Structure 1
């Protein structure tokens, strides 16, 4: 988990041509996406299409990501961030357990103080269709951004906490970052994608966040 400072980020949506600024509190974010080994240790299953302990877990829904966060929190003696009642999920923002980043936190972390579409040359920082060989790759093999975060772009899309646009898409949740099968235009800090929280596919995974000011396990 990498500690990130407080700051501000401006998000934009190409579909609606809208932009908005968000103040981001200090928080912690995992340096890499959740791996298949970690997912199996916590939930006892390996749902991914590809196989490898250091590969990002994929073919996981938003609900799967929420379950992982709560189970890992409980296993480490932390207070779970989410209360789950069927398909209704509420977030206890005071909890010290693991959670999904908000969309604003994700983009703020991805940019790491940069203002361009990417935090470095795409072939150095991301696995995408142009260099992936049309397959997923182990986490942490591309150059990180200035805050020590790997694979923020490419390899697998990351689920975020936020609902995309409730009035138009209902319960669809936000996905960020682009994946190993995407063209370069999808692997930009500002690109927003959405899908139903039950959606599972082989280029969608997630990484975990925690509130600032909470101790790290061990």
Structure 2
């Protein structure tokens, strides 16, 4: 009697579990990658600091899609695993031999870095998966959601904690990861070795892409290529997040190496 007055049990709809994309990935040769969410940032010099000049101007908004970036520069061990050669100057008797494999590979040209990318893609059966970072991707990762002079803030007084550079290097590279990372958990963006980017070098940002892609405008082999981040030899001004260096793509130096990005989905 009066069954219609009885409260019927509430039917709770089933909720699909939320599966979050992992933020860490280690590939077949031991390279560790972090996923960086996409977003918009201001690329170029911050005019409030009155430094950087035309080469870092004009500052402009860039929208970057999410991507993976290696936590560390490519090491001598990783480079050797794939190529069976180690071109680096800082190995064996130049640094502590037991740890030299954890130093960044250097004395690689832009062409060498591109060859490594192609070899790694073929080794893992990928197509256009690994890449050198675009200049915008590199700066986006370095600024880590802000627009400070360095990856950690504005004051050069903290550089010894974050960078292997002229005042903390003993005139040689160091083991990757021995200094503090930036806010995103990326190591050695400042100092240790310059890092090749995909882009051709242009004297300013007039006409630069606003989607985070690499800026290519000259015949390969006839242009200068961008390098970022400074090295164990450079002063603090070269360690600023917006500082731009460049060299010919065939140039080799014990100050220059590289790190990689992944523009695909490692878990798909």
Fold match (TM-score > 0.5) = yes
1:207 aligns with 259
Which stretch shows the higher mean deviation, 154-163 or 170-179?
170-179
Q: 1:48, 1:57 within 8 Å by CA — same for their partners in 2?
A: yes
- What does 1:183-194 align with in structure 2 at a 5 Å threshold? 183-194=235-246
Equivalent residue, structure 2, for 1:24: 64
Gaps of 5+ in 1: 82-96
Q: In structure 2, what is the Cα distance between the partners aligned to 1:31 and 1:112?
A: 13
CA-CA distance at 1:124 after TM superposition:
0.8
Offset of residue 18 of structure 1: 2.5
**For this pair of structures, how many residues does the alignment match?**
199
Partner residue in 1 for 2:90? 50
More strand, by proportion: 1
Partner of 1:104: 136
Choose which of 176, 195, 198 in structure 1 pairs with 2:250.
198
- The answer to whether the 8 A contact 1:60-1:204 is kept is yes
* Aligned equivalent of 2:75, options 35, 42, 46: 35
CA drift at 1:199: 0.7
Q: Indicate the residue corresponding to 1:177 in structure 2.
A: 229
- Aligned-partner Cα distance in 2 for 1:151–1:176: 11
- Name the larger-Rg structure: 2
- The equivalences for 1:141-180 within 5 A come to 141-165=178-202, 171-180=223-232
CA deviations 1:184-210 (Å, max 9, x no partner) are: 111110100111110110110000000
TM-score, normalising length from structure 2? 0.71
Mapped to 2, the partners of 1:61 and 1:20 lie a distance apart of 30
- Cα RMSD (Å): 1.7
CA contact (8 A) 1:28 1:210 kept: yes
Consecutive unaligned residues of structure 2, counting only runs of 5 or more, are: 1-32, 45-51, 92-99, 153-157, 203-216
Conservation of the 8 A alpha-carbon contact between 2:41 and 2:145: no
Distance 1:112 1:9 in 2: 9
Look up the match of 2:24.
none
Deviation of 1:70 after TM superposition, in Å, equals: 1.1
**SS at 1:117's partner residue?**
coil
TM superposition outliers: structure 1 runs of 4+ over 2 Å: 9-21, 212-216
Give a deviation string over 1:151-204, Cα, whole Å, max 9, x none.
00110011000111258xx51111000000001111110100111110110110
Taking the aligned partners of 1:59 and 1:212, their CA distance within structure 2 comes to 28
